[in-house]
Structure 1
């Protein structure tokens, strides 16, 4: 296959996958239900392999983990210490910090409906790992971190000044938006659907970043003619995200 033909084929495939970008939001919308639900299996990460720690192994577990290490370069996987296989096919995935230091995280994935859904979920969850790492967020190791936070408190900690979280919230989320999302995110999305890439993105700034990152990875740079497109364009102005996008797209 020639370079031109290969590029055409690749972007055709990405175009097909894009059809599922919005559809996946309904898959992700139930992910909060997974928090506190015991996984079917827990694996400890050892380099590029996973070792069963508890539960029952299933073939799709290895498939999901293998896909993650294919997508994400080794140098960017260091925070993931455990892989959890969730029991419900209604849940895409989630990431959770193993401790307050935010140095170790678990990546939890539900049984994927398709490889395309798995890829979309992994890209979304990886966005959380990027933006919630200790270099981006001051870990909430004490109550003082929250009370003294002058940027945005993510739940895991206080967004560092100038971090992706800090700049994104400062530019795209007003205090009124934050209050509305906390009360009823459907109301926030309904009031201005062009401000979000999916309805799930209106849940909170963290999900907005992760969903926007998915579109940023799969789509070409848009004209900032809507707030949602402006959010995608915002990511094009972050060199590190552009590098990560290029790395991910090598395997998509």
Structure 2
């Protein structure tokens, strides 16, 4: 069994594989987060994640910086979340976005949009153990491939908290010139999902963030809590999607569709959509807008695109999710972007 340990870096800002052990008798390849960096949470130094407190920070013994907290079960660092209710969390998130945009530029900048799966070839399939933060495969992969594939998965799992991705239990690495990533169901009961990532790494950190959040939002809006996969179109009492099924009346995507698509979608991009790809369908509009909801400040305008972003703010649980994702996005960027 081959172990590739993932440590929080102390001096560089790139995540790299930093150790492996080969046991000849085993046949399964394993990537596992390191247990060597585990410390008690109360050993970290907490600081408010505002512009003033994020200017100069130092690293502590667990690899986190002094304005971060160590999450032991996921072996990552996140910003200390300094908010106590809906309104303060909205503002805290906006403050984090403002700081990150100052440091790194737009968090939603994209250079390319891949839209189909023509020529897609799966290279390696991994099983995901979210509880142990481990991905495993029986495929014959090299140490270098194992390290690189692990980097792809663990970037996603760093940004998306474990509790929000428990049903994503398979990870595929593929090659294709036309697709950046995908999610899909992979079991007969409509419960468990696959995340697929293109072997060719996305160069822009912002595009990586948008891609992860875009694909995650498909899972969020099309999982078994949101869609009845077995109801046929004729008897569906709500919105029926040909590629998904019958949406429940209280589903996120149902509300989004009724507000922005039921009366007909605009064919004018400016002011109506957050991206050109969002014009494709209600599902893609939802996914692109969700990414902007997380990665941009709360809009103050009254365009249709602004209203679409504001749609997500009516759900307190999504504001909580935004807060948690931003606390992780900040620490991921610090380790993934070389200035």
Asked whether the two chains share a fold, i.e. TM above 0.5, the reply is yes
- Shift of residue 18 of structure 1? 5.9
Within 5 A, what are the aligned runs for 1:7-26? 10=96, 11-14=98-101, 19=106, 21-24=108-111, 26=112
Counterparts of 2:228 and 2:104, CA distance in 1:
35
Matched, 1:45 2:128: yes
- Shift of residue 236 of structure 1? 0.7
Within 5 A, what are the aligned runs for 1:66-215? 66-88=154-176, 90-99=178-187, 101-110=189-198, 111-114=200-203, 115-139=205-229, 141=230, 144-154=231-241, 155-174=243-262, 176-177=264-265, 188-189=266-267, 191-215=268-292
Counterparts of 2:188 and 2:260, CA distance in 1:
27
Describe the shift of the 1:14–1:137 C-alpha distance in structure 2 as closer, same or farther (beyond 3 A).
farther
Q: Secondary structure at 1:235's aligned position in 2? A: helix
Cα offsets for 1:177-198 (capped at 9, x unmatched): 3xxxxxxxxxx54x34311100
Higher relative contact order (CA 8 A, sep 6+): 2
Answer yes or no: is the 8 Å Cα contact 1:93–1:121 preserved in 2: yes
Describe the shift of the 1:100–1:174 C-alpha distance in structure 2 as closer, same or farther (beyond 3 A).
farther
Answer yes or no: is the 8 Å Cα contact 1:224–1:233 preserved in 2: no
Cα offsets for 1:16-38 (capped at 9, x unmatched): 656362425x33xx24225x722
Runs of 4+ in structure 1 over 6 Å off: none
Runs of 5+ consecutive residues of structure 2 not aligned to the other structure: 1-45, 56-94, 330-339
Describe the shift of the 1:137–1:15 C-alpha distance in structure 2 as closer, same or farther (beyond 3 A).
farther
Matched, 1:54 2:139: yes
Runs of 5+ consecutive residues of structure 1 not aligned to the other structure: 178-187
Worse overlay, 7-16 or 242-251 = 7-16
Answer yes or no: is the 8 Å Cα contact 1:79–1:103 preserved in 2: yes
Q: Secondary structure at 2:240's aligned position in 1? A: coil
**2:308 is matched with which residue?**
231
The RMSD of aligned alpha carbons is 2.5
- Shift of residue 61 of structure 1? 1.3
Q: Secondary structure at 2:305's aligned position in 1? A: helix
- Shift of residue 175 of structure 1? 5.2
Counterparts of 1:100 and 1:225, CA distance in 2:
43
Give the paired residue count.
234
- Shift of residue 205 of structure 1? 0.7
Counterparts of 2:201 and 2:314, CA distance in 1:
32
**1:183 is matched with which residue?**
none
**2:20 is matched with which residue?**
none
